[in-house]
């Protein structure tokens, strides 16, 4: 069968469009997974940065098929609650033991300090400094919330 050069150009145009759509899918999947990683690891910037670089390498520059990326996307959508549970109950406490996740440790320390204050016990200088830093942080949060509310932002 005889094909004209225009037919070949049309086929190349279709293949080029499919390749461009594949790159768009890669960007969409990467952006969703990067957002999910940010939400989960926002306090651990080192882990977030390392995982983001690894994810970018494999998703954007490594030859992973679009099918695998779409499956990854749906796994993160469907299983994100399970992943969050595993991270919150398994990984973050382990990181806390090594001092890499201080959110829960700070809350536990503040609970102990408040209990000591309620019982009338004497606080150490270190505990006093932590308590003052916590109060300062709380005041900053409240000031920022009041500022946002005064600018017109309303809570949901």
- The tally of domains found in the chain comes to 2
3-state secondary structure of 100: coil
| Same domain? 118 vs 64 | no
CB 83 within 8 A of CB 76: yes
| pLDDT tens-digit map of 1-54 | 555 655 655 666 766 776 677 788 888 888 888 888 888 777 778 888 888 888
Query: What confidence score (pLDDT) does residue 78 get?
Result: 74
In this model, does residue 142 exceed pLDDT 70? yes
The reply to whether 85 and 13 lie within a common domain is yes
Neighbours of 36 (CB within 10 A): 15
Burial class (CB in 10 A: 0-12, 13-18, 19+), 33: buried
Query: In terms of residue numbers, what domain contains 93?
Result: 5-97
Cα-based distances in Å from 15 to 18, 46, 47: 5, 40, 38
- Alpha-carbon distance of 74 to 64, in angstroms, equals 16
Q: State residue 9's pLDDT score.
A: 57
Same structural domain, 10 and 63: yes
pLDDT value at residue 54: 87
Q: Residue 134: which of 92, 91, 93, 102 has the closest Cα? A: 102
Q: Which of 53, 73, 97 is the last residue of a domain?
A: 97
56 and 86 assigned to the same domain: yes
Whether residue 21 is found in the same domain as residue 90: yes
Whether 130 and 60 share a structural domain = no
């Amino acid at each position: 069968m005889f094909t004209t050069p225009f037919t070949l150009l049309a086929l190349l145009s279709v293949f080029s469009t499919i390749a461009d759509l594949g790159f768009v899918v890669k960007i969409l999947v990467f952006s969703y997974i990067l957002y999910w990683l940010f939400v989960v690891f926002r306090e651990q910037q080192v882990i977030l940065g390392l995982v983001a670089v690894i994810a970018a390498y494999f998703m954007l520059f490594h030859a992973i098929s679009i099918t695998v990326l779409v499956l990854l996307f749906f796994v993160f959508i469907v299983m994100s609650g399970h992943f969050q549970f595993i991270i919150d109950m398994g990984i973050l406490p382990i990181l806390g033991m090594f001092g890499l996740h201080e959110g829960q440790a700070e809350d536990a320390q503040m609970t102990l300090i408040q209990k000591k204050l309620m019982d009338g016990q004497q606080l150490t200088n270190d505990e006093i400094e932590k308590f003052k830093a916590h109060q300062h942080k709380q005041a900053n949060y409240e000031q920022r919330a009041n500022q946002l509310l005064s600018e017109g932002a309303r809570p949901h």
